[in-house]
Amino acid sequence: MEKADLSITRARIDKMREMIDSRNLDAVLIEKRENYLYLSGFSGTAAHLLITAKEAILVTDFRYIEQASKQARDYEILRLTGTFSGVLPGLLKEKNIKRIGFEGDYMTYDKLARYKDGAGDVEFVSIGDLLPDFRIIKDRFEIDTISKAVEIADLAFENTIKFIRPGITELEVAAELEYHMKKNGATGPSFETIVASGVRAAMPHGVASLKKLEPGDVITMDYGAIYNGYCSDITRTVFLGQPKDELVKIYNIVLKAQAAAEEGAVKGKTGKQIDSIAREIIAQEGYGDSFGHGLGHGVGLEIHEEPRFSPSGNKIMENGMVVTVEPGIYVTGLGGVRIEDIIVINDDKPEILTKARKDLIII
């Protein structure tokens, strides 16, 4: 993985130490991959971070010692022998840790029980309510990395619409998208690629199937690239041959709703307020019941993060938040349309990262 500047990583560790101090903890234990990647730069699949007021320790097994030494330069690297539950009590005693924070929204009940079993009178305190917000505002390194992931997805769209033709399957379209993303530097897709055509496009999460494309089909493609650990997310809807009049109408409504929501996605508004911009336009056109999901979600090291553009989205937008804007209309028996971009909150003019064309495309 490409590395953020050391000053960025150290600032993240310092922020964690401020939290340790504010919650009267002696240390935090971090095990979720996205969280330890964010705090250390280590991208392997097995690690335990122990951060105290003065020390930063990364525990991993033999497979990753060399990688961790290169990537997590602010950490003391310890080689794990045996199980971490067997090693942890000694670390807690050595570092005089009596009160430790853990990822309550990630750690299983059984694992916590094992950790407590050998830890004596050490108190384990959940900090799960804090960590989802810890990464919510992206720094310039993160925004630049997400921008590259978005660019890769954009290029895949431009190449794939040249490939679409009657008789190929949705799975073939998905494979083409993923091929072009990897060819341009993605390590993989952000999630299982959605390609839903014809009446299947009425399913918002209709993952690619063996259905063959037919003349007159609406085709919704929702996919993303992982680049340097960060995700992108894009949806585009195209038509194979002349679409039905209602689908053209729906397309234009969704495009209008998206443009208005993007323009209104500014610092100081809540996710609920931004969601309502698109939702009111769609409702006014008579399709309110056909837009049943939130307008958007945060994107970063995970494909779904905070904040949320939704009827329950109460977080206030701040500069540096990276969010999708993806209104849709879905009509059973007809099909559906969704259009999705990624934006960065930036005062009163959001930065739109997604550049793939949004005009009505008839192939």
Q: Report the distance separating Cα 363 and Cα 347, nearest Å.
A: 38
- How far is the C-alpha of 124 from the C-alpha of 146, rounded, in Å? 34
Residue 320 domain-assigned? yes
Q: For residue 78, which of 89, 62, 101, 92 has the smallest C-alpha distance?
A: 62
CA distance 12 to 75: 13
* C-beta neighbour count of 171 within 10 angstroms: 16
The predicted model scores a pTM of 0.94
**Looking at the structure, do residues 157 and 55 belong to the same domain, yes or no?**
no
Do 162 and 106 belong to one domain? no
Count of domains for the chain: 2
- In this structure, the answer to whether residues 196 and 325 fall within a common structural domain is yes
Each as own residue / partner, the long-range contacts of residues 33-38 (CB below 8 Å, 24 or more positions apart, any chain) are: 34/135, 34/300, 34/301, 34/302, 35/103, 35/106, 35/131, 35/134, 35/135, 37/1, 37/229, 37/301, 38/12, 38/134, 38/135, 38/301
Task: Assess if residue 358 is contained within a domain.
Answer: no
User: Which residue among 88, 110, 134 closes a domain?
Assistant: 134
CATH of the domain at 62: 3.40.350.10
**Within this chain, do residues 124 and 227 fall inside the same structural domain, yes or no?**
no
Residue 346 belongs to what domain range? 140-352
Q: Is 180 contained in some domain?
A: yes
Give bridge partners of residue 197 from the DSSP assignment. Answer: 219
Whether residue 190 lies inside any domain: the answer is yes
Q: Are residues 69 and 145 in the same domain?
A: no
Are 129 and 169 in the same domain?
no
Whether 184 and 277 map to the same domain: the answer is: yes
Residues 231, 128 share a domain: no
Q: 148 and 100 share a domain?
A: no
290 and 246: one domain?
A: yes
Which one of 134, 158, 187 terminates a domain? 134
Residue 338 lies in a domain: yes
Q: pLDDT tens digits for the chain (363 residues)?
A: 566 677 889 999 999 999 999 999 999 999 999 999 999 999 999 999 999 999 999 999 999 999 999 999 999 999 999 999 999 999 999 999 999 999 999 999 999 999 999 899 999 999 987 777 889 999 999 999 999 999 999 999 999 999 999 999 999 999 999 999 999 999 999 999 999 999 999 999 999 999 999 999 999 999 999 999 999 999 999 999 999 999 999 999 999 999 999 999 999 999 999 999 999 999 999 999 999 999 999 999 999 999 999 999 999 999 999 999 999 999 999 999 999 999 999 999 999 999 999 999 999
| Inside any domain, residue 359 | no
Q: Is 171 part of a structural domain of the chain?
A: yes
Last residue of a domain, one of 134, 156, 173: 134
Query: Domain holding 199: CATH number?
Result: 3.90.230.10
Q: Respond yes or no on whether the N-terminal peptide bond of residue 307 is cis (omega within 30° of 0).
A: yes
Q: Does residue 279 fall inside a structural domain?
A: yes
